[in-house]
Amino acid sequence: MTADVVVLGLGYVGLPLAQEAARAGLSVIGFDINDAVVNGLNEGRSHVDDLSDDDIAELLRHGFRATTDESAIAEADAAVICVPTPLAEDGGPDLRPVISATRTIARQLHPGMLVVLESTTYPGTTEEVVRPILEEGGLVAGRDFALAFSPERIDPGNPVYGMKNTPKVVGGLTPECTDRAAAFYGRFVDTVVPAKGTREAETAKLLENTYRHINIALVNEMARFCHELGIDLWNVIEMAKTKPFGFQAFYPGPGVGGHCIPIDPNYLSYNVRARLGYPFRFVELAQEINATMPAYVARRAQDILNEDSIAMRGSTILMLGVTYKPDIADQRESPAVPLAKQLMRMGAEVRYHDPNVATWDVNGTELTSVTDLDEALASADLTLLVQNHKTYDVDALAASAKRFFDTKGVVTAPGAHRL
């Protein structure tokens, strides 16, 4: 073998994995079906927030190479699948990328190889979907090759926790498979945590995100009735945080976004319904609450305008920040999109500003970030803070705006409205 590992899928999960493995001295090949991604990486260009062009240059110096040639997979001792699993129409994961990557590995599978799935999915995928495909050529998982699941825990934009210092859960098809996968990750991850098996590892990831999903829904629902009762929920949360045990703070917002929270809990709900025939009620209620937050924020915006006898129809609303997290360019599942659509349906002219997003597609309409923020603030009937990027001086922005609606609970300027 000429490579320690081949990483299939060179996005926000696969690239950080390749980076840490290469830094630890492993020989790494990156495989992707996207020619532009592969060519860009081989020329030293990054396409993800967490890695700069300098990081890619370092990766290349360590011997990393990206390729669209699947025969390179046969050169590796281990293959790690890091492809996306978007939400399918039936509420479950769209496994087509996983199936395609697995078939690609199956054509190059050799005795002694380790195959690990990192893509988030429902419990049973590794054993029931990935394993049969890999075994079609006659090799048997757990005997001729090792098979495991290790959930990705990448948090884009997190300055503290990354691939190396975030504990890595690993669950193998057999105890021996777990040991093999744990030894592999132990070469470049500080802490490896063995799971009982693949299903436990798959479910652990879903529990992590379902926990957040449900608690965000709790505070989102509280935001609605606290507003009606004249209670400052943001202050309530700060007070609750003073308890040194038994409480973890979650915060309301215009909706949930990203690759995990709005999507992953649905995989668990889908699996429960499909296999057991009854709903996972906590998840479905949380989804209902969180999915309606953009519409709620739009109604609150309408109320703010109505207080000054201004109709939503024909008004100009400036949205600040359209990414799903602060200080990154990632827009996946950002609540800014359904919020903008709702405002447009209500007749508003929507403009936006985001230092990380030059152009923004909303329902087929391409918007361009305003270049003169001061002018945009002065002319907008309402300025709506959707994402609090660190470059924003929120109180100064609120002071310059005609009306300011803060959905992130950070403004202290008098006269501004908060969710």
**Residues annotated catalytic, as ranges:** 260
Q: Are 317 and 348 in contact (CB under 8 A)?
A: yes
Q: How many beta carbons lie within 10 A of that of residue 190, not counting itself? A: 13
Q: Are 120 and 150 in contact (CB under 8 A)?
A: no
Instruction: Please give the Cα distance from 306 to 177 (Å, whole number).
Output: 63
- Widest distance between CA atoms in the chain: 73
SS3 227: helix
- The number of CA neighbours under 13 Å toward the Cβ of 127 is 15
Backbone φ and ψ for 357, nearest 5 degrees, come out as -130, 105
Q: The tokens of 221 are what?
A: 């629902």
Instruction: Please give the Cα distance from 281 to 278 (Å, whole number).
Output: 9
**23-62 b/e with 16+ CB inside 10 Å = b?**
beebbbbbbbbeeebbebbeeeebbbbbbeeebbebbbeb
Q: The tokens of 300 are what?
A: 């609150």
Paired with 417 in beta bridges are 405
Q: Got the DSSP string for 23-76?
A: HTT--EEEE-S-HHHHHHHHTT---STT--HHHHHHHHHTT-EEES-GGGGGGE
Q: The tokens of 150 are what?
A: 């290790």
CB-based burial of residue 119 (10 Å sphere; 0-12 exposed, 13-18 middle, 19+ buried)?
Answer: buried
Q: The tokens of 122 are what?
A: 């429902």
Pairing of the two strands 365-368 and 382-385: unpaired
Cα-based torsion angle of the residue sequence 237, 241, 247, 249 in order, rounded to the nearest 10 degrees: 50
